[in-house]
Structure 1
Amino acid sequence: MAWVPHENSTRRSFLTAVGATSVVAVAGCLGEEGEDTDELVITQGEFVENTDPNDHNATPYYNVFDQVYEPMFEVTEDGEIEERVVTEWSHPDDGVVELELRDDVVFHNGEDLTASDVAYTLRRQVDEDVGFASDQVAGLTTVTGAEAEDDTTVIVEHEGSESLVEFQLASFCRAVNEEWVEDQEQPIDGDMMGTGPYELEEYEPDVQAVFTRFDDYWGDEPAYERVRINAAAESSSRVGAVQTGESDLVVNVPPTDVDDVDTDDGIEIRNVTSNRNIFLVMKNEIEPFDSQEFRQAMNYAVDNQGIIDSILGQFGEPMTQPIPEGLFGYNPDLEPYEQDQSQAEELVEESGYAGEEITLYTMEGRYLNDAEVAQTAADQIDQLENVDCDFETVPFDDVSDAAGEGPDYEEIPFFLLGWGNPTGDADYGLSPWFTSGGGQFNFADEDIEEQLLESQQIDDEDEREEQLQDINEQLREEAPWVFLHLEESIYGVRDDLEWEPRADESLYAEEMG
């Protein structure tokens, strides 16, 4: 399958295209039917900082962890939740979900998965007295606690609508073994132990993770005996890896290399418009970003469409609000900011911050042409007569950590980041960022926070959608971010790998081959 032109790939139903992180991601076979294949090699730009599955909330990290730790539910491509490790679920009382587990799931150390392990996993993410300040609380905003009723029954307490908590659990609950975790130094580093189809063989920080097939996996046996995931921050290294046959699949091929890769023998380009919003965060308790006028000025200073056309090769769509089109709660009536540097300079003057010196921070290799996008935006801001904007590349972990440090974190107050949404609901694109307990809290506004918390408890879908759309309209005016673009995921792939890229960017080796 050759690459799909961008203008076609953006016209889709969000839930149909993405489902959620537990949907079957790929299917196919590299050998003859029924043949056992040896090793699959995947190369991506970023790698896990440590091996604790509850210490991170980034897709490249999940692409490593998801070989070992499996979700509790499947979510179909139509957005319907189906059984996996959880076989039945119900809502016996307000604020309570009851989960029934399979009785044949075992961890890689041979111990049975129990309801106590699942309850502990949830508490470890949402209760700092049990675990630590997990970034994954951003996806479990309505979950308040969990307990085991017996060996296979979990009682989850929550403060949200029934459908919202179901999708949060489907997307952000991957069970760990309580006893094993408690025996490790916290956070865990250097080992993994879950119930998934693969177990960890070797882990080299910032280099690679190698997995071997887990023979006692309760589900279907994966075709590949071994899976190796490599890290290569530079796009040229990733492109070279697929062109030389060192990798079967690589992520984030630059638009400038698309034609070369797609015409090489044995490999091709496959792409899809992702559900990931790329933006520049401005922490609003740090000067000069505490001024709405200054934040709006940054939006008017940047030529977002020009960046899409020149830096991204027209792979991308301008954003109008914090969430992508197709999510429940998206407001279709909003327009993107268009570059107007005269207006930007006027707003800077009104803000009282004329002559301000700022620095835009970014990583390199995490998103499509991320460093080039950030540098271009910084240069455009620097063209304003009354603002000086510098540009600095830092490790992704530094930016990721800054995103979790709150709106008063001074070290990195202005940075590029991306945020995907596996749930199909606006809440995951909003609550983590705009509520104080959300895990990615960078913009303090009591009125917006109150409205978001209220929206989580509205069961009437029409009423809840209207409230989320109103919130998005307010946020467009408040300008907590410089709204950039919806990212295109571009992969270089061996052409005999039967696999379709997903809008949620997930890579499940268990379904390859």
Structure 2
Amino acid sequence: MKSGVAAGTLVTVAGCLGEDPDQDEFTVTLSQFPDTIDPLDHITGDYFDVYDHIYEPLFDFEPGEGIFPRVVDSWEATEDGVTELQLIDDVVFHNGDELTAEDVAWTINRTVDPDLGVPSPIGTFGLGSITGAEAVDETTLQVMHSASAGLAEFEYGNYARAIPRDWAIDNHDAENEAISGSDAEDFNGTGPYEVVDFTSGEEIVLERFDDYWGDEPPFERVVFNADGESSGRAAALETQETDLTINILPEDVDTVDAADGVEIRDVTSFRTVFCPMKNTVEPFDSQEFRQAMNYAVDNQGIVDTVLSGFGEARGQPVSPGINGFNDEIEPYAQDVGMAESLVEESGYGGAEIELQAPQGRYLNDAQIAEQVADQIDQLDNVSCDVNIGDFEVVSDANQAGVDPDEFEIPFYMIGWGVITGDTDYGVQGFFRIPDNPNRTFEDEELSDAILESQQIDDPDERRAQLEEVNRLAHEKAPFVYLHTQESIYGIKEEIQWDPREDETVYLWEMEQ
């Protein structure tokens, strides 16, 4: 059993407002504004940055350290496939309703049950081993999982939230539809901030929730807005229109560094950028051809030039700091001769392929995609074009699965942030075969290795098996591996805050 003081990290930051009354308000500029108000109907970092302050996590997750009590006071694996969670008392939603175990259980079930609520990518990827939940009494619930308790802990420790069941059903028919609306009253969580003003697509304004169960967060009022251009976000910081900006591009770093009172802070993230190759179509059904595509690309050169060093070349699906990262695996080094030789071995000499990539979703993504396609195109025996489009096109391709009748794009660029801190989150959605129509790669050996890891209880044995999963993923080359990108933020100098590897921004971790 694990237990502790549920107030967690808030104790260390509460009430640190300094002497500047203007800092009662804090503005955050995102790279994209949430296009849904349902906290379960998304899996994108910008959305979490907003909604975690309204629908707070049940646990505090510290990258590399594990999960710690927050709204959950203690938890224990009571039998195979079942973990019991005990909630703290006197937690209320913003509308005044008390939080109950039934609310948490219903929210989890709404996330993982495709017949309840809305199809949720959180259920597919974030809570992949969670099969359901059930309230035992007012403050106790059981979470059922198909995998080991250790894996389940990584998942619910990062993705468990709570929506008030009766409010959501009565006001939003949330058992059948996504929660939607255009008013502040359409948000209702237990977090340290409540919504007081909402302009869909533009701005959401939060204020401290007076009846919050924990310690007072550091700012009275918080404004979230968005600018899709890095230069615009940097300019807003320079002109003091915002206090924190995310996803600054390398070419805008100097602008922020030169401005008065603000600075750049960066950290190597848990987000790896790569190019999946669906192996149910030619020429990607050949392991030799997929390896050739990796040898054709100069990962380190792209990091040094296009990213100005704000990244690390990678040769496996996850980054250092993730449970199961295999530190014996080196990135593929560019070797044009090897690439051309492997293409000939594959039998696909003369292949013509196209890379689909987004623009504005990842650091310099379009420029990177153009470099990747150009380096592949320079092979004597492969032609490669690039098509730059909206991120939704890439996202749809990633969700389409491996049935050739269901997708048109077999080769595309995407990034994946392993925010649970565990390799399983970075591989199972892509490679696991059973009950996974969204997989992007069809290989029984790799799938079986993942399934085996999910059933191992001993943490050291499970870590070793995950390292084997990453070794197989390197060898079989389901992706053209690129890099782990850095998270680059611009922030007011006086704010004491260290960026997190999982890309999460918690205002309660700030002080000044």
**TM-score normalised by the chain length of structure 1:** 0.89
Aligned residues of 2:355 and 2:387 also touching (Cα < 8 A): yes
* Corresponding residue SS for 1:55: coil
Equivalent of residue 162 in structure 1, options 126, 141, 149? 149
Give CA deviations for 1:53-101 in whole Å, capped at 9, x if unaligned. Answer: 1121121221121121111112346614322111121122121111111
- Please say which of residues 267-276 and 365-374 is displaced more in the overlay: 365-374
Distance across 2 between alignment mates of 1:127 and 1:163? 22
Distance across 2 between alignment mates of 1:268 and 1:28? 24
Distance across 2 between alignment mates of 1:154 and 1:248? 40
Give how far 1:23 is off. 6.8
Give how far 1:511 is off. 3.7
Q: Which residue number in structure 1 is paired with residue 51 of structure 2? A: 65
Aligned-pair identity (%): 50
Give how far 1:134 is off. 1.4
Q: Which residue number in structure 1 is paired with residue 414 of structure 2? A: 417
Equivalent of residue 457 in structure 2, options 456, 459, 484? 459
Aligned residues of 2:230 and 2:252 also touching (Cα < 8 A): no
* Corresponding residue SS for 1:227: strand
Distance across 1 between alignment mates of 2:18 and 2:119? 47
Q: Which residue number in structure 1 is paired with residue 303 of structure 2? A: 308
Going from structure 1 to structure 2, the CA distance change for 1:432 and 1:77 (only over 3 Å counts) comes to closer
Q: Which residue number in structure 1 is paired with residue 179 of structure 2? A: 188
Q: Which residue number in structure 1 is paired with residue 132 of structure 2? A: 145
Equivalent of residue 252 in structure 2, options 247, 250, 257? 257
Give, as a single letter, the amino acid of the residue that structure 2 aligns with 1:361: Q
Q: In the TM superposition, what are the counterparts of 1:194-273 in structure 2 within 5 Å? A: 194-273=189-268
- Please say which of residues 282-291 and 238-247 is displaced more in the overlay: 282-291
**TM-score normalised by the chain length of structure 2:** 0.89
Distance across 2 between alignment mates of 1:402 and 1:212? 39
- Please say which of residues 36-45 and 486-495 is displaced more in the overlay: 36-45
Distance across 2 between alignment mates of 1:165 and 1:202? 36
Q: Which residue number in structure 1 is paired with residue 160 of structure 2? A: 173
Give, as a single letter, the amino acid of the residue that structure 2 aligns with 1:125: T
Runs of 4+ deviating beyond 6 Å: 22-26
Aligned residues of 1:23 and 1:76 also touching (Cα < 8 A): no
Aligned residues of 1:36 and 1:224 also touching (Cα < 8 A): no
Give how far 1:415 is off. 1.9
**What RMSD over aligned residues (CA atoms) do the two structures have, in Å?**
2.4
Give how far 1:220 is off. 1.7
- Please say which of residues 410-419 and 110-119 is displaced more in the overlay: 410-419
Aligned residues of 1:29 and 1:497 also touching (Cα < 8 A): no
Higher RCO (C-alpha 8 Å, min separation 6): 1
Aligned residues of 2:400 and 2:407 also touching (Cα < 8 A): no
Aligned residues of 1:57 and 1:136 also touching (Cα < 8 A): yes
* Corresponding residue SS for 1:372: helix
Aligned residues of 2:63 and 2:321 also touching (Cα < 8 A): no
* Corresponding residue SS for 1:397: helix
Distance across 2 between alignment mates of 1:25 and 1:488? 29
Give CA deviations for 1:324-377 in whole Å, capped at 9, x if unaligned. Answer: 123222222222111122332333333343343333222223222222212211
1:102 aligns with 2:88: yes
Going from structure 1 to structure 2, the CA distance change for 1:211 and 1:293 (only over 3 Å counts) comes to same
Aligned residues of 2:10 and 2:214 also touching (Cα < 8 A): no
Aligned residues of 2:15 and 2:217 also touching (Cα < 8 A): no
What 5-or-longer segments of structure 1 have no aligned partner? Answer: 1-21
Equivalent of residue 124 in structure 1, options 93, 97, 110? 110
Give how far 1:503 is off. 0.9
Aligned residues of 1:41 and 1:249 also touching (Cα < 8 A): yes
Aligned residues of 1:274 and 1:489 also touching (Cα < 8 A): yes
Distance across 2 between alignment mates of 1:290 and 1:205? 44
Distance across 2 between alignment mates of 1:299 and 1:367? 20
Count of aligned residue pairs for this structure pair: 492
Aligned residues of 1:135 and 1:440 also touching (Cα < 8 A): no
Aligned residues of 2:355 and 2:411 also touching (Cα < 8 A): yes
Give how far 1:33 is off. 4.9
